[in-house]
Amino acid sequence: MGLITTKEMFAKALNKDYAVGAFNVNNMEIVQGIVDAAKEEQAPLILQVSAGARKYARPAYLVKLVEAAMEDSGLDIVLHLDHGEDFDICKKCVDDGFTSVMIDGSKHEFEENIALTKKVVEYAHAHGVVVEAELGKLAGIEDNIKVDARSATFTVPEEAAEFVARTGVDSLAVSIGTSHGAYKFKGEPYLDFERLEQIHKLIPDTPLVLHGASTVLPEFVARCNQYGGNIPGAQGVPEDMILEAVKHGVCKVNIDTDLRLAMTAEVRRFLIEHPEEFDPRKYMSPARDAIKAMVQHKIKNVLNGSNRL
């Protein structure tokens, strides 16, 4: 039992019909809910921490929470930095004991992204840590209006091959039409599977990563709205589209928004139904259960059971 890298789990998942879930963590209840689900489903697990999560929980807390989760569950876990924006934060996380870091140089020009990613790879690999990078920019809903404008930000397959060869990165996040958050599409959901296939064909040994992979299940949006929320027009990536992506080299599926919705729906419901309660444990317990149920749902329906440990 301990912190592990993604090396073995991706090698196993590559070219199979399942992927490993990477779930964002921000506090104790989220960590517990996710880990309880992974344990019950015997699924491999990546817990990821964004810069925002690091700031919110304070760096030492999340590392210790994940250590406690491993001790409590007996599971091996990957501790991953999500969207590290510069060398400094990647180095800090490597030094703090993370086993995987993402350097997100996608906002930079190609050559600059390569130089930055290479620098992180050199440092991380020297410390036994694996690196995820990103090429192409995730589409925003505003780009949905013009497909031309959107596809201009998608990952170019030949560039992906050159990028991986020149950086030595361990896995690559690609842009094929997903975006972060609860508002991914205005009209029909669309992912560029042809592009994904081309990328996978050119770099068949590189595990691909799908960011922005929440489905934004209507039931949870409806529950948030029913209990006083205001989340109109939310739409995510249909589950069958994630399953399709998994068939074309996607080994890591990033999920945050669906956890946020599940937790918030439950807190809202509880507080409205029990206006007399003010003990945080009373509403954080069902919220933690909601995280667990959502992660189990993902493992079964989107990650194909993560093929068991």
Q: What are the structure tokens assigned to 258, written together? A: 């669906």
Please answer whether residues 28 and 285 qualify as being in contact, where contact means their C-beta atoms are separated by less than 8 angstroms.
no
Beta carbon of residue 108, minimum distance to ligand G3H (angstroms, whole number): 17
* 144: nearest Cα among 109, 181, 112, 189: 189
Of 36, 82, 143, 192, the catalytic one is 82
Query: 192 or 258: whose CB is closer to ligand 13P?
Result: 258
Contact pick of 150, 195, 211, 298 for Zn ion (by CB under 5 A): 211
- Interface with ligand G3H, residue 52, by CB under 6 A: yes
* Active-site annotation holds for 258: no
Categorise residue 304: left if φ over 0, alpha if ψ from -120 to 50, beta otherwise. left
- Interface with ligand 13P, residue 136, by CB under 6 A: no
Chosen from Zn ion, ligand 13P, ligand G3H, none, partner binding at 255 (C-beta under 5 to 8 Å by type): ligand 13P
**Binding string, residues 250-289; x marks residues near ligand G3H by CB under 6 A:** ------x---------------------------------
- Interface with ligand 13P, residue 54, by CB under 6 A: no
Cβ atoms within 10 Å, residue 101: 28
Chosen from Zn ion, ligand 13P, ligand G3H, none, partner binding at 238 (C-beta under 5 to 8 Å by type): none
- Interface with Zn ion, residue 260, by CB under 5 A: no
Query: 85 or 165: whose CB is closer to ligand 13P?
Result: 85
Query: 185 or 270: whose CB is closer to ligand G3H?
Result: 185
Name which of residues 80 to 109 contact ligand 13P (CB under 6 A). Answer: 82-83
Query: 260 or 270: whose CB is closer to ligand G3H?
Result: 260
- Interface with ligand G3H, residue 58, by CB under 6 A: no
The alpha carbons of the chain give a radius of gyration, in whole angstroms, of: 19
Backbone φ, ψ for residue 8 (5° rounding): -70, -40
- In sequence order, the β-bridge partners of residue 171 are 132
- Interface with ligand G3H, residue 83, by CB under 6 A: yes
- Interface with ligand 13P, residue 155, by CB under 6 A: no
Rounded to whole angstroms, the Cα distance separating 191 from 213 reads 11
- Interface with ligand 13P, residue 286, by CB under 6 A: no
Q: What is residue 160's three-state secondary structure?
A: helix
- In sequence order, the β-bridge partners of residue 46 are 22, 78
Please answer whether residues 291 and 263 qualify as being in contact, where contact means their C-beta atoms are separated by less than 8 angstroms.
yes
- Interface with ligand G3H, residue 53, by CB under 6 A: yes
Distances (CA, A) of 224 to 192, 219, 234, 267: 31, 9, 11, 9
- Interface with ligand 13P, residue 140, by CB under 6 A: no
Categorise residue 47: left if φ over 0, alpha if ψ from -120 to 50, beta otherwise. beta
Please answer whether residues 267 and 226 qualify as being in contact, where contact means their C-beta atoms are separated by less than 8 angstroms.
no
- In sequence order, the β-bridge partners of residue 172 are 133, 208
Name which of residues 208 to 237 contact ligand 13P (CB under 6 A). Answer: 211-214
Chosen from ligand G3H, ligand 13P, Zn ion, none, partner binding at 234 (C-beta under 5 to 8 Å by type): none
State the number of binding residues for ligand G3H (CB under 6 A): 8
* 196: nearest Cα among 176, 169, 170, 172: 176
Q: Which residues bind ligand G3H (CB under 6 A)?
A: 24, 50, 52-53, 82-83, 180, 256
Q: Hey, which residues are catalytic here?
A: 82
The footprint of ligand 13P (CB under 6 A) covers: 24, 82-83, 180-181, 211-214, 254-258
